[in-house]
Structure 1
Amino acid sequence: MPAPTGESAGGSPPPDWHALSAAEVQRELDADPSGLSTGDAEERLQRYGPNVLREEERESRLQVFLRQFKSVLIVILIIAAAVSFFVGEALDAAAILIIVILNALLGYSQEWQAGEAIEALKKMLVQHAVVVRDGERREIDAAALVRGDLVLLDMGERVPADIYIVEATSLQVDEAPLTGESSPVDKTPGSLPVGTPLAERRNMAFAGTTVTNGHGRGFVVATGMQTEFGRIAGLSQRIADETTPLARQMDRLGRDLGLIALGIAALVVVVGLLQQRELLEMFLVGVSLAVAVIPEGLPAVVTLTLAIGIKTMMRRNCLIRHLPVSETLGAVSVICTDKTGTLTRNEMTVVRVRTADTEVAVTGAGYLPMGEFLVEERPIDPLADPGLRQFLRTVLLCNHATLALEEGGWRIFGTPTEGALVVAAEKAGLSRDDAPEPVKEFSFNSTRKRMTTVYREGEGNVAHVKGAPEVLLARSSRVFLGGSVVPLTDELRDALLAEIERYASQGLRVLGAACRPLPAGIEWTVDTVETDLVFLGLAGIVDPPRPEAAEAIRLCRSAGIDVIMITGDNPLTASTIARDLGLSSEGAMTGADLEAMTDDELKERLRTTKVLSRVTAEHKLRVIDILSRDREVIAMTGDGVNDAPALKKASIGIAMGIKGTDAAKESSDMVLVDDNFASIVAGVEEGRREYDNIARFTRYLLSSNVGELVAIVGALLLGLPLILIPVQILWINLVTDGLTALALGLEPAERDVMQRRPRDPQEAILTRNAYLVILILGIWLGLLTIYVFLGLYEVDLDRARTMAFTGLIVFELYNVLNFRSFRFPLHRIGFFSNPALLLAILGSLALQALVVYVPVFNLFLGTAPLTLADWGLLALLGLPVLLAGEVYKNLRLRLGGEAPASD
C-alpha cells in the first residue's frame, strides 16, 4: 500500500497525480472502483491520520497581553516606576504604571484577533463527504476520509480532499480560493502533461473548493496537511510575524533614551557629590533627570493616535487588525494587487454584441440592469433590431442564472458569465419571468463547449444554444441576417471567425448564440438537436475596471508607489485590464515564466513588467522575497486560501472583506471592507498622515523633555535648589504635554502628502535636522525656565518653583504650534485647521490653573498661587518661541523652497 502524498513507498516522492491515467492512479493508491472496505479504510486512517489540518499552539489572552510590554520604552518606564517607588515617590510610581497598563490594554484590545489563520483554514474544510465503501454509498465525517476513498461530488458541495476525477458530467468547480481563477473550472477525466500548472489541472478537484455545476466521482489522493490546501497552511505556519518599521524605530528610540537617561543621571550624581551635596538629594535629582529624559506619555500617545487612525481608516473602508500597521501603510512602496474585484468590479458585463448585421456597444457596468445599446455611438432600441432581439432572447432562455435586487444592490445567482447575459437581456427589457420552463436541456461541459435548452413555442419546439462561438459556427449552416434566416456562406463564416479572434485579442471573453426550430418527429439527442443551427451572433464579456481604480493608480504613480498586478487569470485578460487602467507594463509574466528565471533575472524583469498571471502561492512568496531585498515595504492583497502565506509574509497583508476567505482575513494585517483598490490608496494616504503626526509629537515631546533636562542640570550647575520635583515633571509629561501631543496626532494631512516618495523604513524617526531642532528649542525652553526661577527662589522657593513649573508649560504650549508643520508657517496651514489642538492648549492651561489655585493640588504637587501679572510675564517670555519658528519657516520658503517632509 502506498504512503500518503508527500511520500511513497520506500521514501520516494509522490507521483504527479494529474499526469497519470485513471488506471495508474487506482494502482498507485491500491484503490477499488467499488470503494474501499470498512476495514481497509480504518487501517489507512490509523496509518495516515485524519483528514484535518495540523494546528499551531495558539497564544492565550495572557500571552497577548504580556506581549504589549515588549517595547524597550515600556520596560524603561517600568524600571523608572520601580526606582520611584523605592525612593519613596509612590505617587510618581503609580502615575507611570497607570500609563503603562492603559497602553497595554489598548494594544491588547486591538490584537486579540491576530494569529487565527490556521483556525480559519480548518473551518473551511467540509464537515462531511459522500463516499462509496463496501460497494455502498455512505455519508461520513470528512475527517475520516483516507487516500484511495472513492468520493462522490455534487453541485453545491465543498470538495473534502484532493481528488483525481474518474467520472464527470458537466462538472465545474470554483477554484478561486485556491488558484485565483475568476471563473468556474470544467473538470474532466484523463491524464495531463507533467508540470501542468495547478489552475489548469482539469482532472483534479482540490480540498476547500466548491462544486458549482454537474456531478462526478474520483479517488482521494491527498488528505489533511498533504492537500494543496494543507500545503499552503504549512507555508503560513512557517512564516514568522515581522516587526513593523514603527515598532523598530520606537525600540531604537527607547534604547537611546534609556542610555542617555542613565548617563546623564550618573554624571549629575557624580557632579553633585563633588559639590559635597547629600547622596539622597543627588539620588532624587538623578531620578528627576531620568524622568525628565524619558517621555512617559509617548507610548500612550502613539497608541491612542494609532487607535484613532484605525477609526479614521475604517471610515475609508480599511479595517486594521494590528495597531502599528495603520502607520506602516504610509511607508508602502510597492502594492501587489489582485485583479478580480479589486481593480475590477468582479461583475462580468456584456460590453459588445456582434450579429451578422452589425456591432452593438452595450453601456452600463456590473449587475445593475440599466444601460444603452449603441450603434456608432447612437442609441438604438434593441428590441427593434430583429437580430439583436433574437440573440438576447436566446442567451436569456439558455441560461441558469437569475438576477435579484437585495439589500445592498443587484445580485446574480449563478455563474458570472451567465449572469452577464441575463443582465444584458434585462437592459433590453426582456425578463426570465416571462419565459416558460424548458422541456429539454443538454448541459454544458468542457468537451461539448455548449449548452442547449428546448422550449415549446407556438405549435413547435425551438432549441436555443449558447457556447464557444467557433463551436457553434462549425455546427451552423444558416445565419440570421437582415431580419431573416439565410445560408451561412464561407465568406461570412470567415468574417465572424475574424471577429471572434479580434474580441479575444482585446481581452474579452467571447460567447456565441444560435437557435433552431426543431422538425416534428425527430428524436431529441445531442446530435439531432445541435446541428443545422442558425447562428445569431456573439457577445464580448469583460469584468470592467472599477471607475476609481485608474485615478488611484495615477495617484500611486505620483506618490512613488509601484503597482504590480498579480492574478490567477489569463495573461491576455490581465494585460487588457492593466492597459485600461493606465498601469504601464512590458507584457505579462506567467507562473511558468517566473519558474524559468533566476532571482536576479526576475528582479530585473519586475522593474518593467507589472502584470503577473497564472501564479501560485510559492510564486507570490518569491516575488515578496525579491522585492524585500531592496528594502521595499510591500502591501499584498489577496482573497483566497492560496493568498494566506503571501499575506502573512508581506509588510502589509490586505485581505478582501467581501469575497475574501476567512483564511485570507486571519492571515492579514488589514481587511479591505469594499474590496476596492482605491481604498488601499486612501489607507496609504492616512498612514502617511499618521506617521507625519507621530514624528511631529515625538519631536515635540522630546524638545519639551530637553527643556526640563536643561532646567534641572542648569540649576544644579549654578548651585540652585532643585528647580522641578519628579511629580511636577510627570505632570508635564503625562498631562499637559500628553494632551497637546495627542491633539497634534490629529493634524490634517499636508496637501502634498501623496506627491512625496515613500519614506525609507530604515530611516530613524529622528533625523539629524530633527535632533538639531529638538536641542535648540529644548535649550531655549530650559534657559527661559531657569531665568524665571532665578528671580524668585531666594524670596519664596515654592512660588519660584511654581513659576518655573508653570512657565515651562506655557513655553511648551507655544512650542507645540511650531511642530504642526516642519515646512509650512501657520498662515499656510491655517491657524484653526486643527481645532483639537486649540482645545488641548486651552485645556492644558485650565488644568494648570487648577494645580496652581486648588489647595489639594498645592499639597501634592508643591505649588503656590500666582498673580495675574505672573501669568502675563510668562506669556510674554514664551511668545518669541513661536515667532522664531514662524520667521524661520517663512525665510526658508522664500530663500530655499520647501524643506523635505521628514526634515
Structure 2
Amino acid sequence: MNLNILRETFVSFVRSHGMDRHFRRLGADMFRSTPVSKDVPPSLAETLSSAARVDISELFQTLHSRADGLTEAEADTIRASAGPNEVEHEKPISKWVHLWQCYKNPFNLLLTVLAAVSYLTEDMKATIVIGSMVVLSTMMRFIQESRSNTAADKLKAMVSNTATVLRHDLAEDIAEEALRYFDVTLHPKGARRIELPIKKLVPGDIVQLSAGDMIPADLRLLTAKDLFISQAAMTGESLPVEKFVAHRGTATSNPLELDNLCFMGTNVVSGSATAIVVTTGNRTYFGALAERVTATDRTPTAFQSGVNKVSWLLIRFMMVMTPVVFLLNGYTKGDWVEAFLFAMSIAVGLTPEMLPMIVTSTLAKGAVALSRKKVIVKRLDAIQNFGAMDVLCTDKTGTLTQDKIFLERHTDILGEQDDLVLEYAYLNSHYQTGLKNLLDVAVLEHAELQREMALASAYRKVDEIPFDFQRRRMSVVVSEREDHHELICKGAVEEIVSVCTHARHNGQVVPFTKELLQEIYETTSSLNAEGLRVVAVAAKDLPPTKEVYGVADESDLVLIGYIAFLDPPKESTKPALDALKAHGITVKILTGDNELVTAKICRQVGLAVDGMLLGNDVEKMSDAELAMAVDTTTVFAKLSPTHKERIVRVLHDKGHVVGFMGDGINDAPALRAADIGISVDTAVDIAKEAADIILLEKSLMVLEEGVLEGRKTFANMLKYIKMTASSNFGNVFSVLVASAFLPFLPMLPLHLLVQNLLYDISQITIPFDNVDKEFLEKPQRWNAGEIGRFMVFFGPISSIFDITTFALMWYIFGANTPEHQTLFQSGWFIEGLLSQTLIVHMIRTRKIPFFQSRASWALMSMTLIIMMVGILLPMSPLAHYFKLQALPLTYFPWLLLILVAYAVLTQAMKGWYARRYGWQ
C-alpha cells in the first residue's frame, strides 16, 4: 500500500475534527496491514513504548504525578511548558494566512493576472478597477469568515468535550501534616473528581474513562475493567479491542499493539478505567501523524464539488469566449492592442469573482440564523446538506418521545407489583460506574427509593461487569455480609432470560419450564403493548471466593421480575412530523428498542408505520435485498450499531441525502455514515464528535427549522450563480454581435470593468434575501447541468434588448461614427447595468417580482443605490474621467420601455422554462 495514499486518507480524517465519516468507511481495509508506527518519529514511539513497560511508580515519578492526580498549581505549571492539548491543525490560523486563503481562489488569481497585464500596458484605470474588485472580494470574504469563525468558536465552546480528571487536594496534605504533628491519624478522603476541557489536560493528569468517552490524550492504563476501545481511526480494526493494565501480547516496537496504552482520537465502547496522561497535543501519536500530513487538502464535500463544477463551467466558458472576442475585434477594428484590452475586460466581466464571498457569506449568515434557533453548525458546508436532506433517520427515545423516562412499574415475573425487584434494580443502578443512561436515572430518581438508599449503604460493591451492545445487559456484584456475594444483572428481556435457569415466583425459586417461559413472554409482551419499555432484573448468590468477575459469571441466574418505564411522546412531535413530511422529508425510525413499544409510540404521534424490520431480519438480508426494503420500511427495531450504519449507507447508495440523528455510543457509526450527522449537546462525546450539526434542543421541530434555513441558504447561493451565469452569457453574446458590425468598440474596457464592479456590489446583500415559500417545500441539490441550460436559455434574452439599445443609439440618437462613440457607449453602459441589476429581481423568484414576491429591504435598497449611481455617473463631474457623457432626456423613456419589455419577456420565458424543466 502506498504510504502517500495512507497519509492523504488520514488527513481527511484529521481535518474533520477526527471523525470524518468517509475515512472511517474505508479505514479498516486501508490500515489493517500497514506498519503505521513508521509514520511517527522514533522518539515518540520509544516514549510510548517506555511508558507501557516501566513500573507504575516509576512512571509517576517521571511525570511528577501521583495516584490521586496533580494539584491545580502543578497542572498549571506543566501546561505552561507543554502547551494546550490540541493538535496543530486545530489551532486558529493567523490572520495573514487566513487573508491569503481568502484571496487564493481561481477567480481572484485570474483577475490579478488581468490587472498585471493592464498595468504593463499602462492602462492604470483598468488596473485600479480590477484591483478594487479583487480587494473587495477578498476583504469581504475575510471579514465574513472571521466573524463566522468567531461565532462558530463561541458556539463550539458550548459543546466542547471534557474529561473526568482527578485533582490532588493540597489542603488535605497540609491538614494531614498538621494532624501528624499532633500524632493524630487522618483517613484520606480521596482525590477530587472534576470535569476539565480536553485541551487543558497535561502529562501526568489522572483521567477516568467510561463508555462513550473520547480518549483525550495518549494514556497508560492504571486500572481497567472490561475496557473495550474502538481503534478504527488509528489501526482500522473493525472490532473494538480489549485493553488491560499490563501488556499481555508478544513484545513489539509498535505502540499501537500494546495492550496497556490508549490513544487520542479513539473512544471507549464499553467498560471503565483509570489512566495517566503520557503525551498531549502534537506529541501524541495522533498529533504526530497529523503534523506530517497537514499540507494535504481534505477531500471536497458534495457541496464543495457542486460549487467547483459551477465555477469551472463559467471559467471554461470564459476561456472559450475571450479569445473569440479578441480575434473578432482585432480583425474588424485593426487595433490589436485595444482588442486585447477589451478581451481582457470581457474576461473580467465573465469572472464570477464574488462567488467565494457570496457562498461564504450565505453559509455564515445561515449558521448565525441557525444558532438563534438552537442549532450549532460545526462545519459550514453542512448547512447545504441540511437543506438537501430528503430522508431523516432518527432514534425514538428523546426525539419522538420526551427525553425524560419515568419508572412506571416494578413487577414480578407475572406482572404483579413487587418491591424486591425495585430494590435489586436500585442496587444495580446505584453501584454501576459506567455510562448511566436514562433508565438508570429514572430508577435512581424514583420517589419510593428513600428506603432503598438506606439499603444501599448496607452494601459494599465488589465488582461490576459493564454494559455492551452485544450482551445488552450489565451486572454489579455486591456484598451485604462477608459470607456471600450477590450478582445483580439487568438488561433486555431476551438477553436476561437467555442466562437464567430459574425464576422467583410467589416467593419461591422455581426452575424454568416451557409453560413458565410462555407466561413470561406473554407478560412482557402485554407490558410492551401498553407502550412500556421493559427491563428484566435477575440475580444469584455466589460464594465470596474472588473479587474479580466477568461475563462468564452471568449464568444460571434467577429471574426476579421487571422494571417498566414510560417514555411519553412529546406534544410537539406530531406537528413536527407533519411539517417534515410537508417539506419532502421522509422520517424513518432506527431504534434498538422493542418493536411493540416503538409501534405504539409511532401510532401515538401519528407516524404511519408502512413496514417494520427487526435487526435479525436486517442481518439475514443482502445489500440488494435491504436496498429494496429500505424505501418501504418506516420502522427498524432492535438494531445494533452496525445495523444502523448499514441502513444509512444503503439509503445513501440509493441516491438519498440521508440525515441521522442520534446521541448515544451506538449511534456513532451511523452518524459517520450519514450525509449529515445530527446530535445534541447532551450526547456522549463520541456522538458529538461524529456529528456535523449539534442541536441544543432534542426536538424534531428545531430540526425542521434547521432544514428550512439550509434551504434558504442554498436558494440564495443559487440565485447569484444563475444571475451571474445568464447575465455574463448575454453580455458576451451582445459583444460578439456589436463587434462584428460596429466600427468602434460597443463599450470601452474601463466601462465594462466599472459596470461589473457596480453589479458585484449590488449582489452583496443576496445572502440576506427572502426566499419564496415554494422553494422550501422540497430538498434542493446542486446541478451544474441545470445551471448551464439556464444560462443558454436566459442569457440571450438580455442580448435582444442590448441589440435593441444598439439600434436605438445608432439610428435614433445618431451615435453611428467613431466621433460619437462616447454617446453610444454611455447609452449601453446605463442600459446594461440596469438590465443586469433588474435580472436579479427577475430570476430570484418563479413568481412575478415586486408584486407576488418581493426581495428583502437590503437587496431592494442596494439595487436602487446602484441603479442611481449608474444613471448619474455619466452626468457627474467624473463622467470625463470614465469617458462617459450625459444622455439626452429623450433617452430615458426609451430606456424604460426597453426595461419593461425585458422584464415581460423574461417573465414569459420563466413560465415556459418552469413548465418544461422545472424551477430549481
TM-score between the two structures when normalised by the length of structure 2? 0.62
Matched, 1:734 2:768: no
Paired residues, number: 752
2:826 partner letter: T
| Kept in 1: contact 2:229–2:269 (CA 8 A) | no
Paired with 2:641 and 2:661, the residues of 1 have a C-alpha distance of 14
Who is 1:295 aligned against? 352
Aligned to 2:71: none
1:776 to 796, 809, 817: 796
State yes or no: 1:812 paired with 2:869: no
1:218 & 1:834 partners in 2: Cα distance?
57
Amino acid in structure 1 at the alignment position of 2:897: L
Letter in 1 for 2:896: A
Structure 1 match to 2:641: 615
Change (3 A) 1:260 1:144: closer
**Would you say the 8 A contact 2:395–2:661 is kept in 1?**
yes
Amino acid at match of 2:405: M
Q: How far off is 1:819 after superposition? A: 0.9
Aligned to 1:521: none
* Alignment counterpart, residue 407 of structure 2, candidates 350, 362, 365: 350
- 1:419 paired residue number: 441
Cα displacement (A) at 1:700: 1.8
One-letter code aligned to 1:586: L
What's the CA shift for 1:886? 3.4
Contact 2:769/2:855 (<8 A) preserved = no
Paired residues of 2:145 and 2:361 also in contact (CA < 8 A): no
Q: 1:508 aligns with which of 530, 533, 544?
A: 533
Match of 1:84 in 2: 118
Q: 1:779 to 1:800 in 2, by over 3 A?
A: closer
Partner in structure 1 of residue 240 of structure 2: none
Distance 1:114 1:258, change over 3 A: same
Q: How does 1:118-517 map to 2 (within 5 A)?
A: 241-337=298-394, 341-342=398-399, 344-351=401-408, 416-421=438-443, 440-441=458-459, 497=520, 500-502=523-525, 505=528, 508-510=533-535
**Secondary structure at 1:274 match in 2:** helix
Aligned position for 1:588? 615
Aligned partner of 2:694 in structure 1 is: 671
Opposite residue 685 of structure 1, the aligned amino acid is: L
Structure 2 partner of 1:885: 906
8 Å CA contact 1:327–1:687 kept in 2: the answer is yes
Q: Does 1:93 align with 2:150?
A: no
Report whether the alignment pairs 1:73 with 2:107.
yes
- Alignment correspondent of 1:789: 809
C-alpha distance in structure 2 between counterparts of 1:547 and 1:229, whole Å: 45
> Partner residue of 2:626?
605
Do 1:810 and 1:874's aligned partners in 2 also have CA atoms closer than 8 Å?
no
1:368 aligned residue: none
Residues 607-686 of structure 1 mapped to structure 2, 5 A cutoff: 607-609=628-630, 611=636, 613-615=639-641, 620=645, 629-637=653-661, 639=663, 650-661=674-685, 665=688, 668-686=691-709
2:393–2:659 Cα contact (<8 Å) kept: yes
User: SS of the residue aligned with 1:843?
Assistant: helix
> Are 2:533 and 2:565, in contact at CA under 8 Å, matched by a contact in 1?
yes
Question: What SS does structure 2 have at the residue aligned with 1:508?
Answer: strand
Q: What's the offset of the Cα at 1:680?
A: 3.8
CA deviation digits over 1:709-729, x for unaligned, max 9? Answer: 244333322224333233433
CA contact (8 A) 2:207 2:276 kept: no
Does the C-alpha gap of structure 1 residues 642 and 541 become closer, same or farther in structure 2, counting only changes over 3 Å? closer
Distance 1:237 1:650 in 2: 25
- Partner amino acid for 1:295? P
Report the CA distance shift for 1:103/1:735 in structure 2 as closer, same or farther (over 3 A).
Answer: same
Q: 1:752 to 1:278 in 2, by over 3 A?
A: closer
Percentage identity across paired residues of the two chains: 19
How far apart, in 2, do the equivalents of 1:805 and 1:313 lie? 41
Superposed CA offset, 1:261-283 (max 9, x none): 33333223323333352222112
Alignment partner of 1:748 is 2:771: yes
State whether structure 2 residue 893 is matched by structure 1 residue 872.
yes
Give the counterpart letter for 1:73 in structure 2: F
Q: Distance in 2 between matches of 1:346 and 1:237?
A: 40
What SS is found at the alignment partner of 1:440? coil
Secondary structure, counterpart of 2:718 in structure 1:
helix
CA shift for structure 1 position 847: 3.0
Give the Cα separation in 1 of the matches to 2:400 and 2:261: 28
Question: Taking structure 1 as reference, are residues 331 and 798 closer, same or farther at Cα in structure 2, changes over 3 Å only?
Answer: same
Give the C-alpha shift of residue 95 in structure 1. Answer: 1.6
Structure 1 residues 436 and 269: alpha-carbon distance in aligned structure 2, compared to 1, 3 A threshold:
closer
Structure 1 unaligned blocks of 5 or more: 1-10, 15-28, 44-49, 131-136, 180-186, 190-202, 360-386, 402-412, 455-464, 480-484, 515-534
SS for the counterpart of 2:697 is coil
Q: Is the CA contact (8 Å cut-off) linking 1:321 and 1:669 kept in structure 2?
A: yes
SS in 1 for 2:774: coil
Provide the aligned C-alpha RMSD in A: 6.6
Which residue number corresponds to residue 703 of structure 1?
726
TM-aligned CA distance change 1:304 to 1:733, over 3 Å? farther
TM-score (norm 1): 0.63
Distance between the aligned counterparts of 1:13 and 1:691, measured in 2? Answer: 41
Q: Which has the higher helix share?
A: 2
Structure 2: how far apart are the matches of 1:138 and 1:390? Answer: 33
- Equivalent residues of 1:352, 1:541 under 8 A apart: yes
